[in-house]
Amino acid sequence: MKGLLKLNQMLADLIRSNHHTQSFTLFVIAHSTSTPDHYTLSAALTAAANARHITFGAQLHAHAVRTGLWAHSHVANSLLSLYAKTHDLASVERAFTEIHCPDAYSWTTLLSACAKLAPVTHALQLFDQIPKRHAAVWNAIITGCADKGHEGLAFNLFRDMQKMGVKADKYTFATVLSMCSWELLDYGRHVHSVVIKSAGCQAQAQAIKMGLIGCVAVNNAMLTMYSGFGEVYEVRDIFERMEERDVVSWNIMISTFLQENLEEEAILSYLKMRREGIEPDEYTYGSLLFATDSLQVVEMIHSLLCTSGLVKIEVLNVLVSAYCRHRKMKSAFQIFSAVPYKNLISWNSIISGFLMNGHPLQGFEQFSALLRAQIKPNAYSLSLVLSICSSMSAMSHGKQIHAPAEYDGGPTQIPILNKLGHRSKERSDNGFDRMHVVDDFASDKSQVAVTVD
């Protein structure tokens, strides 16, 4: 018995430390030498879910059914979480139907999965079937609607939650406040944006009234809301009054300064963040690199990245683009070459850099290297290389790219065919016939260019 308790504790410690592979190994060893109980199996399922390891999870599912451990609620719920995190809605629903007495966690997990992986109408139908709707259930449907872009519906659900007397928690307010900051893209929704802001202020007032204003997640959501409205002074005021600030808080403050073109304030915030012992992450460096116009700042961040050991590809890609903007192609290419696992954004960044800095041949060489690496170019990649061919007057290269560009078809062809407009009137006419329904404006420009030539 003591050995099993120790085993379960070791599994829990490994999971908390994100050592999922070691968790799998430990479970396999335990299974061969003893009889794991429902706590052991639940922990192993949690590790499989966190690692998105569906094969190992399926083996654990079979073991749970075979041994009868499936009857324990936390084993069944851990299995639901596994299938939800691996985006297998059909398996979530099938496993849920096999639970004899689903509890609140079971219903919440199923609803969260439906809200993320199915149309919102399906999630709403399920929501109406849930017998007892506590705060976590409401949070799941509100978040699901918000993530799908149905902010009006999410606000109505938040109001219904209040009318039903269900007490909102920090997660509710974090979702509602963050949702208020979403940019309203349709130009006809200016009036709606006023309503959204009003609702956000009401949610803030309720959070203060309920004593949740000290919660970091709620405060970060308020920062996000006011940042989205461009209220830099409100953001600064809330930020300065926060008793506890995490890296997300600092990132929001820095990005707010940057979006308002207050670069010096952003740099000062970054330095203060370091002095307070908060370690920057990829979003901190990415925001600074993306927005700064100062080569000195780029070089400073480059140096800090080297000393910190933060080498995530997302940051390195932004660093490459930053050096390209400052015409420092040698530095950009050195960083690009050092990236161990380049993605398409990496290749597009360096190709674009060579093009805009007057080195089309090197850009074309990198496009060729991209193809040799068996990475499929997208429309932007092809658009770049066709611009390179145009600047080089490389007619033969242009013809080579034209065929695969047409082969993919679809709306993404528009910028590619437009760049081919001056090469062949007959080919451009054919392209115009195929795509004028998709984007008349883009196609008309291509047609005019051909006619003038």
pLDDT at 435 over 50: no
Does residue 199 fall inside a structural domain? Answer: no
Residue 341 in any domain: the answer is yes
Mean pLDDT confidence for 130-152: 90
Residue 185 has pLDDT above 90, yes or no: no
- For residue 174, pLDDT over 90 is answered with no
Where residue 332 sits, what CATH number does that domain have?
A: 1.25.40
Distance between CA atoms of residues 48 and 57, nearest Å: 6
pLDDT at position 206 is: 62
What is the share, in percent, of the chain residues with pLDDT greater than 90?
A: 31
pTM, to two decimals: 0.55
Q: Among 69, 87, 105, identify where a domain stops.
A: 87
Higher pLDDT, 283 or 12: 283
**1-10, 97-106, 308-317, 354-363, range with the lowest pLDDT:** 1-10
Q: How many domains, the chain?
A: 3
Is 427 found in the same domain as 349?
A: no
Decide if pLDDT at 405 tops 80: no
CB 192 within 8 A of CB 151: no
Residue 25 pLDDT class (50, 70, 90 cuts)? confident
| pLDDT of 214 | 62
For the ranges 124-133, 160-169, 335-344, the lowest mean pLDDT is seen at: 160-169
| Structural domain boundaries enclosing 446 | 377-453
Domain final position from 63, 87, 111: 87
Residue 367: what pLDDT?
Answer: 93
Last residue of a domain, one of 376, 406, 430: 376
State the pLDDT at residue 349. Answer: 95
Same structural domain, 35 and 77: yes
Residue 106 lies in a domain: no
Quote the CA–CA distance of 233 and 239 in Å, as a whole number: 10
Residues 317 and 381 in one domain: no
pLDDT band at 385 (very low <50, low <70, confident <90, very high): confident
Q: Tell whether 238 is covered by a domain.
A: no
Mean pLDDT across the chain: 78
Query: Does the pLDDT value for residue 134 go beyond 80?
Result: yes
- Range with lowest mean pLDDT among 29-33, 267-271, 313-317, 386-390: 29-33
Q: What are the pLDDT digits (tens) for 221-243?
A: 888 888 887 888 888 988 998 88
Q: What pLDDT was estimated at residue 293?
A: 83
> Which pLDDT tens digit goes with each residue over 151-167?
888 888 988 998 888 88
* Averaged pLDDT, 183-198: 38
Residue 201 confidence class, pLDDT cut points 50, 70, 90: low
Residue 104 token pair: 């609140």
> Within this chain, do residues 362 and 403 fall inside the same structural domain, yes or no?
no
Residue 341, sorted as left (phi over 0), alpha (psi -120 to 50) or beta, turns out to be beta
Q: Are residues 372 and 382 in the same domain?
A: no
| Residue 226: per-residue pLDDT | 83
Domain co-membership, 383 together with 332? no
Residue 428 lies in a domain: yes
Shared domain check, 384 and 317: no
Cβ proximity of 250 and 216 under 8 Å: no
pLDDT band at 175 (very low <50, low <70, confident <90, very high): confident
pLDDT-derived band at 115 (thresholds 50, 70, 90) equals very high
